[in-house]
Amino acid sequence: MLKAGFNKVSISPPIGVPLAGFAARPEVSTGTHDDLFASALVLETAEAAVALVSVDLLALPGEFVAAVRSSIEQRTGIKPDSVMIASTHTHAGPVTIKTFFNPDGSVDSQYMNVLSEAIVTAVSNAWCDREPGKVGVGRGHVAGVGVNRRSPDQKPVDDQIGIIRVTDLVENTKAVLINYACHPTVLGPDNLLVTGDFPAFAVQAVEEAIGPSGFAMFVNGTQGNISMGHSSELSAIGIVTPGRTFERAAELGQLLADATLKALPSIKVHDQPVLTAASVQASLPLKNYPDPVETRQALLEAEEHLNALVSTNGDNADRIHRAKSQHLYASINDFYARETERFTDGILPIELQGIRIDDAVFVAVPAEVFVEIGLQLKRTAAYKLFIVGIANGYIGYLPTKEAYDVGGYEVVSSKCRPEAAGKLIEQVLHLEQRLSKQ
């Protein structure tokens, strides 16, 4: 018989910390609009035990995830390859990774220690609190939340919501996991308040609808090119566009919550599910970067050009915007050229992890995968397949092959060559097949 437990622990940072997500954010945080959480759902049968964890953060390094998984195993016995740790990808949480927007900065080790303990505590509390129950996986659909920010007609999108429903033995809903593909970037680079963005509002609304002891959590999907329509490039260089308000975040969160709640009654649950997990090492083709000496020189030249424009053409916004974009791209290439020097074989190793619940499989990918890839996987998979993005690490964007012909921020921000999308699809489907035989 299934046993399930759930718990969440606050991971809100102190006021005054730098916020992750936008390279051009002008200042540190000035307060907290809504708390951030590490949320954990634990499922156990006689054959297996798994933990699904969501953290309201931009992303986490793979090394950090590995250490946390090890600590979770020590406290609960749940094997590391059965623990999935996914970031919601809010762009208004503390800095937890080192990347091109903070190449010379450091991640606060004290906060990371607190974060590690919070995640382990959430899982161990959920483990201690597990009780007999039932579980089921279903789908909902929502319109009006995410759009394709790289497409003139704002399509395709994935309007599907993946839902795990956990109930007590008389089928009262107790816990809900929401999987939906969209950047949590309603709030832009001008926002200095800590927030989980629209997913936090969705989670709160679902919990309130479930009841006083209700629990909900959010994991992202293939959201690489899905947002509210705001340009990723303009956001990265600090250009503020209209509509990026907490009111809008609450509105979109409520849309997602309403669609989730509408689908819940139709999700059948039972107390003896097939529950398995597996983790495999996969490989993606890495871009060929120039020598770091060349990329650093290009970055210095882009910086000099931008500074000269600002000092002599302060009123020429278009030219300055282009120069800021060129400087941003140069900083990305310089950071990645240095970061990938150790991969001398041209291969970027990643972990793919799958958790199967009956006829549904959740696959964790440590990347911002383009939605077209996710849609193709869902069409091709034999099971109900849900991709959990920005999970168990972070390698940046993973665009479609066609996107490389267009270029842009997401393509420049990818470490992979165009054929990586095909490789990922192949390896995810292989993992799904493996799980189907367990």
Q: What is the pTM of this model?
A: 0.97
Across-strand partners of 138?
163
The residue with tokens 């609450």 is 250
Do the Cβ atoms of 188 and 244 come closer than 8 Å? yes
- Residues belonging to the chain: 438
Give the pLDDT confidence of 197-226 residue by residue, as tens digits.
Answer: 999 999 999 999 999 999 999 999 999 999
Burial 12-34 (b: 16+ CB within 10 A, else e): bbeeebbbbbbbbbeeebeebbb
412 to 134, 310, 332: CA distances (angstroms): 45, 24, 7
Among candidate residues 205, 370, 363, the one with its CA nearest the CA of residue 277: 363
pLDDT digits (tens, 9 = 90+) for 327-384: 999 999 999 999 999 999 999 999 999 999 999 999 999 999 999 999 999 999 999 9
Rounded Cα distance, 19 and 26, in Å: 10
Q: Which parts of the chain register pLDDT below 50?
A: none
Q: Phi and psi for 378 in degrees, rounded to 5?
A: -65, -35
pLDDT at res. 34: 98
Residue 68 is predicted with a pLDDT of 98
425, exposed or middle or buried, with CB in 10 Å at 0-12, 13-18, 19+?
A: middle
C-alpha dihedral sign at 380, 384, 390, 391: negative
Half-sphere exposure at residue 396, Cβ-oriented, CA atoms within 13 angstroms: 26
Helix axes 317-339, 292-312, angle to 10 degrees: 160
d(CA 145, CA 227): 8
